Amino acid sequence: MRKLSFAVLNMIFLGFLFISCNSNEDVTPPSNKSYDMVTTFAGSGLPNASEDGVGTQATFWRPEDLVADAGGNLYVVEVGASKIRKISPAGVVTTFAGNIIPGSIDAIGIEASFAGPSGLTIDASGNLYIADTGNNKIRKISPTGVVTTVAGTGVGGSVDGDRSQASFLAPTDVAVDASGNLYVADISNNKIRKINPSGTVSTFAGSGAEGSVDGIGVLASLHHPSSITIDTSGNLYVSEWGSHKIRKISPTRVVTTLAGGGIYGVDGTGSNAGFGLPSGLTIDASGNLYVADVHSNKIRKITPAGVVTTFAGTGIAGSLDGLLATATFDRPFGVAIDNNGNVYIAGNGKIRKIAYE
């Protein structure tokens, strides 16, 4: 689950453990613009703090996933404080739901509680869906801040069926398709689960065994699937912490490997490229994926053909703003794109921005 120390992350990176980050809907950026600079949009970087404010006066306690709504507002999963924060286009940071006391209370706004939530997504109506990792549940937040439980008993498991009886084990991310189906990265079960609009939970892909075997549905194997996103054709993309790969799952449940498996941090095509704990994912309208590559300290880009390049970051851990090629990141976890094509990155107590202008 996302409430992990960096030491535990290193264990995962070495292949010993598990668990974590997002998804956004496709966004079409204006065609006559380009990416150039990395800036700090919000958050001071002060550790173990969670205070509202404006821009860098606000603090975040382990922000690890984020998503943008149609109005340009950002919603951030704050693992350390068990909150969902909201950032306006002007950089005003408020607490949208949850409070610093972990729990599983359905209520409105800060009266509701979560336990180390990891990933989130948003539907066309502005409803947020949260992977509530510590509670083994999927939660929903309406645009007015009403928090309810979508699925999961709260007891860790891998039971399919009605949402009130189904179980998950440390789910870390969610994605929603145009038909309202939810997909869950059920990391500790090594599965992708599906929740249809009527509330029935099923296993969409993954046998449950740790592995990286391509195949169809439950005949394929996944290795700690951490984050998911979906394109306009209904294809799912999954980042795997265990194999350091990006997998693709078609609407007919065909699982293939898009990229990864090489030396971590190395650009290339398909299996020649390497990732170091790939986490948050988002996708643009051209089908390009953006990956928060935690241990590489980079944001990577993958074309539909599987060509992997470094989008931003030197690979040296830091928090330096500047040009894409000289800016630094320190364990970036989440990545999102807004309707204007701006890219946002969550990690290290900050929300960074790469403007499309």
Query: What is residue 285's predicted lDDT score, i.e. its pLDDT?
Result: 84
- Tell me if 16 is assigned to some domain: no
Query: What is residue 27's predicted lDDT score, i.e. its pLDDT?
Result: 52
Residue 330, burial from CB neighbour count under 10 angstroms (0-12, 13-18, 19+):
middle
Query: What is residue 32's predicted lDDT score, i.e. its pLDDT?
Result: 79
Range of the domain at 130: 35-356
- Tell me if 98 is assigned to some domain: yes
- Tell me if 21 is assigned to some domain: no
If phi > 0 it is left, if psi is from -120 to 50 it is alpha, else beta; for residue 310 that is beta
- The low-confidence residues of the chain, meaning pLDDT below 70, are 1-31
Q: Which residues of 244-279 are buried (b: 16+ CB within 10 A; e: fewer)?
A: bbbbbbeeebebebbbbbbebbeebebebbbbbbbb
pTM: 0.92
Rounded alpha-carbon distances, angstroms, from residue 129 to 93, 272, 291: 20, 34, 20
CATH number at residue 114: 2.120.10.30
Per residue in 39-67, pLDDT (tens digit) is 999 999 999 999 999 999 999 999 999 99
- Tell me if 149 is assigned to some domain: yes
- Tell me if 196 is assigned to some domain: yes
- Tell me if 4 is assigned to some domain: no
- Tell me if 12 is assigned to some domain: no
Total domains in the fold of the chain: 1
CA distance 275 to 236: 19
Strand 215-216 to strand 161-162: parallel, antiparallel, or no bridges (unpaired)? Answer: unpaired
Count the helix, strand and coil residues of the chain and give each as a percent rounded to the nearest 5. 5, 40, 50
**Nearest in space to 254 (alpha carbons), one of 204, 288, 305:** 204
- Tell me if 244 is assigned to some domain: yes
